[in-house]
Amino acid sequence: MISIQGLSKLYKTKHQNVQAVDDVSLNIEQGEIFGVIGYSGAGKSTFIRLINRLEEPTGGHINIQGTDITNLPINQLRKRRQKMGMIFQHFNLLWSRTVFDNIAFPLEIAGISKSERQEKVQELIDLVGLKGREKSYPSELSGGQKQRVGIARALANDPDVLLCDEATSALDPETTDDILDLLVSINEKLNLTIIMITHEMHVIQKVCHRVAVMDQGKVVEHGDVLDVFVKPQSKTAKRFVQQLNPLEHKQDSLKRFITEDESTEVIKLHFIGNDAKRALISEVVKTFDVEVNILQGSISPTQEGAYGTLYVELNGNESVIAETLKFIEASGVEVEVIRDVK
C-alpha cells in the first residue's frame, strides 16, 4: 500500500551537512499500524514529514496506492494530502475555534457543503468520544480531549493513511493509553493504515503490528513487533526493549537466589503467543525428577500476542536436566542456558 524506496533528506547549512534520513526503504501494508521508533535526532519526525511532503526529499520515492507522490506537482499534491491525515504532538488546534469548527476546518477547505460538514463533524465527534463538547474551545479541554479533536480533524476527509508524529508524548500515561485504545479502535473500524512515530516502546508494544527502528537517519532494524521484542538485533532496539523488560540487563540480581551447587543449571525461557499462557513449569515438575526454582520473570502483551521471559534454576541429575531442556525446547519455548551469572 505504501512503498518507500531509497528515501533521503539532506539538510545543508553554512557550516555542515546533516543527513536526517539516509536511504530508507520500507513497505507498509494496507490496514496495519506501523511504528517507527528512535531516540531524539534519529530522523523519525523528518521521515514522517517526507511521506506527505511537508519536507521535500533529497532522493528516493514514496508510492502510495500506486501514486508516486514525490513526483506530483503542487496542485495534485494538495488533493493527495487530503487523503493523508496527520496528528501532531502539540495538537496544532485553532484556539479561536470551537471543537466543532476545528474538526470542520479541513472540510471547509475541501469545499464541502455546510449540511454535509455538519453531518460529518457530528459523526466524528461521536467516534472520538467528544459528544457534548462541540461548543468548547481548546483552552477548555484537557490534553487528551485536545488530541481527540486532532484525531477527528485528521479523519475529516476520510484519509487512507493517518500519520501520527509523537501523538502521545505530551500526555500522561493513563491518557496515553486512552488515545492508543482509540487509535486501535479506529484502525479496526475503518481499516485505516496508521504510521506511528514515537520514542516510547510502550506505544509500539500496545498498538503496532510491525516496527522500524531508526538511528542516525537509517533504519537499523524492522519486522514484526514480537520478533523485535524477543530477538532484538541492533544496539538501539536492545536499548528500547530493556526499557520494558529490565530483567534483560539485571542478571546480576540473580546471583543471590542461585544455589551454590554443581548439580544446578540456570536457564532463561522465552515464551511467545499462546506459549506465554502455558503451564510449562507445572508440566516439567510432573514429568521429570528435578527441582525448579523460579528466580524472576515478566510477561508483556502486544498487538500480535503476549511474550514473556522467565529465569529458572533446575536442580537434579545432569542427564535428567538435559532431558528436561529437550522437553522444554520441543514444546516451542526458546531456551537459553545462563552460565555467567554465578
Q: Is 198 helix (H, G, I), strand (E, B) or coil?
A: strand
Per-position pLDDT tens, the chain of length 342: 899 999 999 998 888 899 999 999 999 999 999 999 999 999 999 999 999 999 999 999 999 988 999 989 988 998 888 899 999 988 899 999 999 999 999 999 989 999 999 999 999 999 999 999 999 999 999 999 999 999 999 999 999 999 999 999 889 999 999 999 999 999 999 999 999 999 998 899 899 999 999 999 999 999 999 888 878 899 999 888 877 765 554 555 555 555 566 668 888 887 776 666 677 888 888 999 999 888 888 777 777 777 778 888 898 888 999 999 999 888 888 888 875 444
One domain, residues 127 and 158: yes
Intra-chain end-to-end CA distance of the chain, in Å: 51
One domain, residues 141 and 259: no
Of 220, 244, 268, the last residue of a domain is: 244
One domain, residues 255 and 234: no
Where in 117-217 does DSSP place strands (E)?
A: 161-165, 193-198, 210-215
What is the distance between the alpha carbons of residues 210 and 72, in angstroms, rounded to a whole number? 28
State the CATH number of the domain containing residue 278. 3.30.70.260
Of 244, 277, 301, the last residue of a domain is: 244
Kindly report the pTM of this predicted structure: 0.82
Residue 153 near residue 102, CB atoms below 8 Å: yes
Strand order in the sheet with 264-272: 291-302, 305-315, 264-272, 334-338
Strands 59-64 and 67-68 come out as antiparallel
How many CA atoms are closer than 13 Å to the CA of 292, on its beta-carbon side? 23
| Helix/strand/coil percent split, the chain, to 5 | 40, 30, 30
One domain, residues 212 and 320: no
Of 198, 217, 244, the last residue of a domain is: 244
Domain range for 139: 2-244
One domain, residues 206 and 330: no
One domain, residues 14 and 85: yes
One domain, residues 183 and 273: no
One domain, residues 210 and 232: yes
One domain, residues 126 and 255: no
One domain, residues 8 and 126: yes
Domains in the chain, number: 2
User: If you search the block for the grid coordinates 506530483, which residue do you land on?
Assistant: 72
One domain, residues 265 and 288: yes
